[in-house]
Structure 1
Amino acid sequence: MRIAHISDTHITSESAYKGYAYDLIANEINNGDFDFVIHTGDVTNQGLREEYERATYELKKIQKPLVVIPGNHDVRNVGYALFEEFIGPLNGVFEFDDGVVIWVDSTIPDLSDGRVGSQKFKWLRERLKEYSDRRFKIVAAHHHLVPLPDTGRERNVLFNAGDVLDLLLRYDVNLYTCGHKHVPNVYRVEDLVVDNAGCTSCRKTRKGDVNSYNIVTLHDDGRVEVRIRRVTGEERAKEHRPVRPKLFIPKGKRLLRIVQVSESNVSERAYFRRKVLENAIRTINERLKPDVVVHCGDVVDMGIERYYERAYEFYERIKAEKLVVPGHNDITYLGYDLFSEYFGQPGIKEINGVTFIPVLSAQYETPIGVVGRMGQKKLGELLEEYRDSFTVVVMHHNIVPIPRSREVGFLEDAGDVLRVITIGEANLVLTGHGGNAFGIKVEKTPIVNAGSISWELHRNPYGNSFNLIDIYPDMMVAFEVQATWGSGRLVGIWKIKSPFKSPSPPRPSP
């Protein structure tokens, strides 16, 4: 099964529309061995009637079955009504041999942002249940699901991207197709392939790129291949083979135990649960006995001295080694100086063959974080320097969307940071923003977010919690531990390509 994935044609009478690029790609599709075509939105540029009239003519040039999803430009000027008049339904289902495409309207009128609202989310879940027996399940929308590189400041991801991502993973969706940011990109997220198309016929390309489309091939053995094809003829392909089985048995003894905490927000406010934090520390010391405790930020609620004094007293009770990175609350007011005074500047830490690389993302007086181009370069260099080690990147801000959290681009360069991490093949990333525990593997890198250990204002139905991560020679297991009762639940289990060297056998005596 071969699918042509086009997006962001931005059909208009203005010079922004590159009709020759569209004609070239349409001819390639017509002459190619494609079963159908998916257009993931921004068919028009302003949602105007004359644009829809021309779009109807242009789309007829594609002589293959065509699924079209609305984009944010299509719904401008109440263009969603014209979309239904000229093109078709905003949400729908397209069935093919042993597979289904479920498309959903992710647009918000007159905004570039996206959202799969509560009713559409329920509709999507019902359709995934209905077609759960299909071998290939494809969900298509306009907006991107995970941050993309080379898009400038991160924004316009789905507001509820974490919930949508979690839903797709729960129902074993094979492929998510989208457009919106004019950047072609392919990520493997667990067993889900996230396929972003670039722009098919618009002048607004990124970083001097050219127009392109994606070719998706669904193989009989379950493999999903995505090939990015530019109008210059250049191609780049990625292939994903589903992981089977999903559960593994560790080989060898445990190499390292990490306790990951976040958002203790120590303060004198009623929202700070002192007894919960005390109980969690007791559990960590007496029952779990980790090799290292990593705090992913928001140690205190505000950067004032008496809060730092109390936080220092709490965390001094932990017997294991500690690594603490600042969150956005930690550097408010005098916090930038107080953090260094009480917890020191976070630096590289090596424990039992594992290298922890702290990344500072917090900024003054704002929850929005940034690593910056210089910080990205440094991180890439460190991942290359320690490539033969097991590398753990530690930071405050999450780089993938978290369920039950409104995603508004809390790390403004998340797409570029995620690219550095995946290219550098970091073995693990620990984050702590968003108030909810979540674990997911992007490409070869598991990313684990911690919930709040002792702050009442969190988003976790499991309550206040922290994470327990055990590393074995061939696998990694992450559990969420309820901070009050000590009960646990699985967050993720992943096979790893071990960088750990087996000890050399002893040489015989002469």
Structure 2
Amino acid sequence: MIRIAHISDTHVTGESAYKGYAYDLIVNEINRGDFDFVIHTGDVTNNGLREEYERASYELRKIRKPLVVVPGNHDVRNVGYALFERFIGPLNGVFEFEGGVVVWVDSTIPDLSDGRVGGHKFRWLKEKLEEYSDRRFKIVAAHHHLIPLPDTGRERNVLYNAGDVLDLLLRHGVTLYTCGHKHVPNVYRVEDLVVDNAGCASCRKTRRGDVNSYNVITLHDDGRVEVEVRRVTREVERREHRPVRPKLFVPRGKRLLRVVQVSESNVSDRAYFRRKVLENAIRTINERLNPDLVVHCGDVVDMGIERYYERAVEFYEKIRAEKLIVPGHNDITYLGHDLFTEYFGEPEVKEIGDFTFIPVVSAQYETPIGVVGRIGQRGLEKALLENSERFTVVVMHHNIVPIPRSRELGFLEDAGDVLRVLTRAGANLVLTGHGGNAFGVKVEKTPIINAGSISWELHRNPFGNSFNVIDVYRDMVVAFEVQATWGSGRLVGIWKTKGPFTPFRSSP
């Protein structure tokens, strides 16, 4: 068993923002505890100034345990990254412990709050994960958060290439990702990866009236990962995650539901719109797939003008299955807000057998950034709780987990709060469609599947234009991506889910 103390965001400074008594209280607890080592995930200082680094160096020496320290965005202000190396240590590195390894990586961008693990640092991280692939426990530590966090206001400062980093960690079987940055303690499980955010240890800038805290991570011999959030008020929150075993799933019984998920058709008269690809995809859906429902996750048209909507209706009227369409940000540009309703109607809750589909409109005027809003979040939570005995599917345009090969500009402003609603209220499946690439992960108990572009040339998917086919069984969800031109397919993911359900149809 390995025990780790995880602190972050001390913000050491001579100003009143620094709470030295809280830092000393936490350090004393750590020194008295049976910890194997300590990880500090950045913002050691407040402004990256020399006098702050001199004091921070003194404060860090109070910790009488092996210590890994990661630079944060505040540390690299005023060319502070040079001082970090002088007073604290290397910006990137490796710490080995019995049965495991910590790879820490500098995610900062000088003088910006945003983060990135790009270029040579991304390749270096990949090389280190391959080098230590035989270790039982693999930990990656950085400053910036990887998954949107609740109670942080507007979602920002996530890693620009968070989707690529998340995909890399999942592919290499990383056990734990530790970070700080937003002064909010939080723990999520993404597939078998535990994402551990620490709150701030000694800064006055806490959120929602919270207090200073640190996390205690326990890596058990049987593979369990336990995280405790310990506040200076002696409150303790515990989360435990067990690895999924076995990894091979076999569906039980007949298929209960088939959904075809499409996005970003962007119907227009521009050269980027691939009319024949969309026609071929619709023919495949009608003749080969026989879905119970076709879900369009937004950007039906390229611009919200009448000519494009008329063409889009001609295409989608050809689909014989029932349809649920939510607007994307392109759909409500210009007159699109009114035209979407005129041509496709208001998205409404749809029930099919034991399944309830809940549409969420996240698109906003003239911007790719989306928002659900506090009222929308309460409505979503109410709908999920009212349908808690049914299989609930939430349909929206904007992605709420980072997508590979895409810079995270399309995040929801309130992605962290929306993700908390979805996971706590127990959504069984979430379908999104922003980012131009197909991707699927399970956060806590909720599979979240993003669709690539079905017929727009400007996408980010090496597989080409595509759509998803999602089959639901009594105890699992299986998602495939189908290439829109050739019809070839590949697996997006298989996830265990709750059951049982009463079949509403007989499926092969």
TM-score, normalised by the number of residues in structure 1? 0.98
Specify whether residues 179 and 409 from structure 1 end up closer, same or farther in structure 2 by C-alpha distance, changes over 3 A only: farther
Considering only aligned residues, what root-mean-square deviation do their CA atoms show, in Å? 0.8
Structure-1 separation of matches of 2:420 and 2:397: 17
- For residues 166-216 of structure 1, what are the alpha-carbon distances to aligned partners after superposition, in whole Å with 9 as ceiling and x for unaligned? 000000000000000000000000000000000000000000100000000
Matched, 1:460 2:461: yes
Identity %: 83
Does the 8 Å contact 2:369/2:413 carry over to 1?
yes
Partner of 1:507: none
Matched, 1:142 2:181: no
Structure-1 separation of matches of 2:143 and 2:426: 29
CA shift, 1:408, in A, is 2.7
Matched, 1:411 2:412: yes
CA shift, 1:240, in A, is 0.5
* Number of aligned positions between the proteins: 503
Does the 8 Å contact 1:328/1:367 carry over to 2?
yes
Give runs of aligned pairs for residues 297-312 of structure 1, distance below 5 A: 297-312=298-313
Partner of 2:295: 294
Amino acid at match of 1:77: N
Does the 8 Å contact 2:368/2:410 carry over to 1?
no
Amino acid at match of 2:101: V
Give runs of aligned pairs for residues 485-504 of structure 1, distance below 5 A: 485-501=486-502
Give runs of aligned pairs for residues 434-445 of structure 1, distance below 5 A: 434-445=435-446
Amino acid at match of 2:251: P
Structure-1 separation of matches of 2:440 and 2:353: 23
Give runs of aligned pairs for residues 116-265 of structure 1, distance below 5 A: 116-265=117-266
Structure-2 separation of matches of 1:128 and 1:35: 22
Amino acid at match of 1:132: S
Structure-2 separation of matches of 1:106 and 1:478: 32
CA shift, 1:501, in A, is 4.5
The worse-fitting range, judged by mean Cα deviation, of 36-45 and 239-248 is: 239-248
Does the 8 Å contact 2:353/2:503 carry over to 1?
no
Give runs of aligned pairs for residues 63-142 of structure 1, distance below 5 A: 63-142=64-143
- For residues 368-396 of structure 1, what are the alpha-carbon distances to aligned partners after superposition, in whole Å with 9 as ceiling and x for unaligned? 10000000000000000000000000000
Partner of 2:24: 23
Structure-2 separation of matches of 1:460 and 1:246: 26
Amino acid at match of 1:219: H
Does the 8 Å contact 1:115/1:160 carry over to 2?
yes
Structure-2 separation of matches of 1:431 and 1:498: 23
Does the 8 Å contact 2:354/2:502 carry over to 1?
no
Amino acid at match of 1:393: V
Matched, 1:276 2:277: yes
Structure-2 separation of matches of 1:27 and 1:364: 52
SS across alignment from 1:156: coil
Structure 1 unaligned segments of length 5 or more: list them: 504-510
- For residues 390-413 of structure 1, what are the alpha-carbon distances to aligned partners after superposition, in whole Å with 9 as ceiling and x for unaligned? 000000000000000001353110
SS across alignment from 2:421: helix
SS across alignment from 2:203: coil
Structure-2 separation of matches of 1:47 and 1:491: 43
SS across alignment from 2:226: strand
SS across alignment from 2:18: coil
Does the 8 Å contact 2:475/2:500 carry over to 1?
no
Structure-2 separation of matches of 1:502 and 1:33: 53
Structure-2 separation of matches of 1:270 and 1:466: 20
- For residues 84-119 of structure 1, what are the alpha-carbon distances to aligned partners after superposition, in whole Å with 9 as ceiling and x for unaligned? 000000000000000000000000000000000110
Structure-1 separation of matches of 2:495 and 2:118: 32
CA shift, 1:243, in A, is 0.2
Partner of 1:57: 58
Give runs of aligned pairs for residues 308-387 of structure 1, distance below 5 A: 308-387=309-388
Amino acid at match of 1:481: V
Structure-1 separation of matches of 2:30 and 2:466: 51
Structure-2 separation of matches of 1:499 and 1:396: 29
Structure-2 separation of matches of 1:364 and 1:106: 32
List structure 1 runs of 4+ shifted beyond 4 angstroms. Answer: none
Does the 8 Å contact 2:478/2:495 carry over to 1?
yes
Amino acid at match of 1:335: G
Specify whether residues 104 and 151 from structure 1 end up closer, same or farther in structure 2 by C-alpha distance, changes over 3 A only: same
SS across alignment from 1:330: helix
Structure 2 unaligned segments of length 5 or more: list them: none
Structure-2 separation of matches of 1:257 and 1:246: 23
- For residues 203-257 of structure 1, what are the alpha-carbon distances to aligned partners after superposition, in whole Å with 9 as ceiling and x for unaligned? 0000010000000000000000000000000000100000011121100000000
Give runs of aligned pairs for residues 394-405 of structure 1, distance below 5 A: 394-405=395-406
Does the 8 Å contact 1:325/1:358 carry over to 2?
yes
Does the 8 Å contact 1:262/1:295 carry over to 2?
yes
Structure-1 separation of matches of 2:79 and 2:389: 55
Does the 8 Å contact 1:390/1:499 carry over to 2?
no
Does the 8 Å contact 1:154/1:409 carry over to 2?
no
Does the 8 Å contact 2:41/2:141 carry over to 1?
yes
Structure-2 separation of matches of 1:72 and 1:251: 49
CA shift, 1:449, in A, is 0.2
Structure-1 separation of matches of 2:411 and 2:254: 38
SS across alignment from 1:165: helix
Structure-1 separation of matches of 2:499 and 2:359: 21
Does the 8 Å contact 1:255/1:352 carry over to 2?
no
Amino acid at match of 1:57: Y
Structure-2 separation of matches of 1:353 and 1:307: 36
SS across alignment from 2:261: strand
Structure-1 separation of matches of 2:142 and 2:502: 45
Amino acid at match of 2:91: L
CA shift, 1:500, in A, is 1.6
TM-score, normalised by the number of residues in structure 2? 0.98
SS across alignment from 1:187: strand
Structure-2 separation of matches of 1:331 and 1:13: 50
Does the 8 Å contact 1:260/1:296 carry over to 2?
yes
Structure-1 separation of matches of 2:392 and 2:464: 30
CA shift, 1:502, in A, is 7.9
